[in-house]
Amino acid sequence: MIIRAKYALLSPGEVRRDVCLEVDGERIAAVHSGYRPGAMRPDHDFGLAVITPGLVNPHTHLELEYCAGDAPFRGSFTDWLQRIRDSKRSRGDQATALPVASLRHLASCGCTTVLDHYTTELDWAGIERSGLRYLPLREFFQFNNHAPDPAQMRKQSHGGFAPHAPYTASIEIAQACRRLADEAGLPLSMHVSEVPAELEFVRTGQNEEIHRLLELAGAVDPEWRGTGLSPVQYYARHGIFDGPAYAVHVNYCLDGDLDVLAALKPTVVFCPRSHAYFGHPPHPIAEYLAAGIPLALGTDSLASNTQLSPLHEAALVRLRYPQVTAAQIFAAMTLAALAPLGWDGYLGKLEPGYLADFAVFRLDGDPGGVLGRDELFAALLDAVIATNHAVHTAVGGMPLFEAQPAALHAN
């Protein structure tokens, strides 16, 4: 099968014109550009469009699909979080077992891989039938549990492991998750340095909001005295970053954190829309990138966002963090987001031998002109971000989403 489009963003910073993507089975066989005498006519010609690798959403909570527009933030993050917990508990068996709308939305915006924090059993067979590359990460809590049962935790997980946060899961729970993730050959994922209350609680042992949250969960640890450390340094000291990891949010970078993150290199997952929803100060995204810390873009859940599209997040980064380059943003939605999984060696690029996960975005106009490579890459990325909607998404060469039939040509 041959897919043609005016442009392709092959990898971060690399762009080509007049591209034919040749797919053989589930892999990319060749990427051609320009006129080639005797070349076969394409099976699908999308004309003025951009082909990209399939996009990645490395952090969401699909089970909260039902919260869309129904979880207003009133100034206290812990109160908001408790309302989410209460809502999930009250729904019981009505909780979203198969988040159909979310899965369709991800595919429609060109997303082919998603990592999902979950706490309730979902319809795993139904999610598999959706065609997305989907990795569920079981969230663990129990701040007062200092002797977790790894065998029980292993049974509770349908995929990977995610200690919720330093203020909701004991360090022993986090360490058990680290060992289980290593055993499974998967990255660890956790929220860290997300809110000011967390910083105070981990450092001093005192914070009224978090104490109330733990009290309601029956998880108060009367022996907790604080660590004198930031959440990042606390996790680092106890080996939580000693292996592939997604450090989600990291909205606050305290003295010493940058050196720790640069040395251990967990992938920081910045969720721009959720960050803005809760009114945090500007994110240290540029400082992280300058220090060589891997960075990916996630969406968090529909409880704090209106979409699950990585492109929707990228639009806000382009607006509020102009020092971050187009190539860095593209990496954050593709290769950098895949690296902790070890999947960046066969996904995230349009390159022969890579799996044929890709998306096609129709353009309203041609931004090409006489732009140089970097300018053209940025212009095309901005155009793709503006569309925020694919016309074709494929996983392993198989259609995942089609907005409308492509033009068909007989060979």
Residues 207, 112 share a domain:
yes
148-169: per-residue pLDDT in tens? 999 999 999 999 999 999 999 9
Q: Helices 208-216 and 77-91 sit at what angle, rounded to 10 degrees? A: 10
List, in order, residues 6 or more apart from 120 with CB less than 8 Å away.
63, 88, 95
Handedness of CA 307, 311, 315, 320 (dihedral sign): positive
Q: Which of 293, 319, 344 is the last residue of a domain?
A: 344
Residues 172, 47 share a domain:
no
pLDDT of residue 232: 98
* Nearest Cα to Cα of residue 316 among 287, 286, 288, 275: 275
Q: What is the CATH number of the domain that holds 353?
A: 2.30.40.10
Residues 367, 290 share a domain:
no
pLDDT interval class at 404 (50, 70, 90): low
Handedness of CA 397, 399, 404, 405 (dihedral sign): positive
Is the pLDDT at 83 greater than 90, yes or no?
Answer: no
Q: Which of 323, 344, 365 is the last residue of a domain?
A: 344
Residues 379, 240 share a domain:
no
Give me the helices (H) in 169-283, please. 171-184, 196-204, 208-216, 231-237, 257-264, 272-277
Residues 263, 404 share a domain:
no
How is the beta sheet containing 160-163 ordered, strand by strand?
A: 55-60, 111-118, 133-140, 160-163
Residues 109, 76 share a domain:
yes
The C-alpha angle with vertex 299 and arms to 159 and 265, in degrees rounded to 5, equals: 70
Residues 231, 146 share a domain:
yes
User: Is this model's pTM higher than 0.75 or not?
Assistant: yes
Is the pLDDT at 277 greater than 90, yes or no?
Answer: yes
Total number of domains constituting the chain: 2
pLDDT of residue 35: 61
CA 68 – CA 302 distance, rounded (Å): 5
Residues 245, 205 share a domain:
yes
Task: Identify the residue whose tokens are 């206290």.
Answer: 76
pLDDT of residue 36: 66
- Strands (DSSP E) found in 27-97: 27-33, 44-45, 49-53, 55-60
Residues 202, 163 share a domain:
yes
Q: Helices 208-216 and 196-204 sit at what angle, rounded to 10 degrees? A: 90
Residues 221, 76 share a domain:
yes
CA distances from residue 46 to 12, 18, 50, 157 in whole angstroms, order as listed: 22, 11, 9, 41
pLDDT of residue 410: 33
Residues 363, 223 share a domain:
no
Residues 72, 162 share a domain:
yes
User: Across residues 365-372, what is the average pLDDT?
Assistant: 81
CA 73 – CA 79 distance, rounded (Å): 9
CA distances from residue 48 to 81, 195, 363, 365 in whole angstroms, order as listed: 45, 44, 6, 8
Q: Which of 344, 367, 397 is the last residue of a domain?
A: 344
Burial class, 351, CB count within 10 angstroms (exposed 0-12 / middle 13-18 / buried 19+): middle
195-254: per-residue pLDDT in tens? 999 999 999 999 999 999 999 999 999 999 999 999 999 999 999 999 999 999 999 999
User: Across residues 346-361, what is the average pLDDT?
Assistant: 98
Q: Domain of 373? A: 2-54+348-408
CA 258 – CA 345 distance, rounded (Å): 27
Is the pLDDT at 407 greater than 80, yes or no?
Answer: no
